Amino acid sequence: MIFDEQRALVAQGCRVAAARGLVDGVLGHLSLRVDDERLLVRCRSDTDGGVAFTRPTDIRLIRFDGSAGAAGELDGYRVPNELPIHVETMLANPEHRAVAHLHPPAVVAADLAGITIRPIYGAYDIPGAWLARGGVPVYERAVLIRNTQLGKEMVTAMRGRPVVICRGHGITSAATTVQHAVLQAISLDALARMALRVRAAGGALHDIDDRDWEDLPDLGPGFTVDAAWRHELARLG
Residue 170 to residue 138: CA distance in whole angstroms: 10
Q: Which long-range contacts (CB under 8 A, 24 or more apart) does 221-228 make?
A: 224/126, 224/127, 224/183, 225/177, 225/179, 225/180, 225/183, 226/179, 228/179, 228/183
Q: How far is CA 86 from CA 54, 67, 197, 224, in A?
A: 18, 14, 32, 24
Q: How far is CA 39 from CA 64, 110, 189, 233, in A?
A: 7, 32, 26, 23
Q: Please pick, among 5, 37, 73, 82, the residue that the annotation labels catalytic.
A: 82
Residue 48 to residue 9: CA distance in whole angstroms: 18
Residues 6+ apart with CB under 8 A from 48: 26, 58
Residue 126 to residue 119: CA distance in whole angstroms: 10
Closest CA to 182 of 37, 32, 26, 79: 32
Active site residue 82: yes
Residue 61 to residue 53: CA distance in whole angstroms: 19
Residue 122 half-sphere exposure toward CB, CA atoms < 13 A: 12
Q: Catalytic amino acids?
A: 82
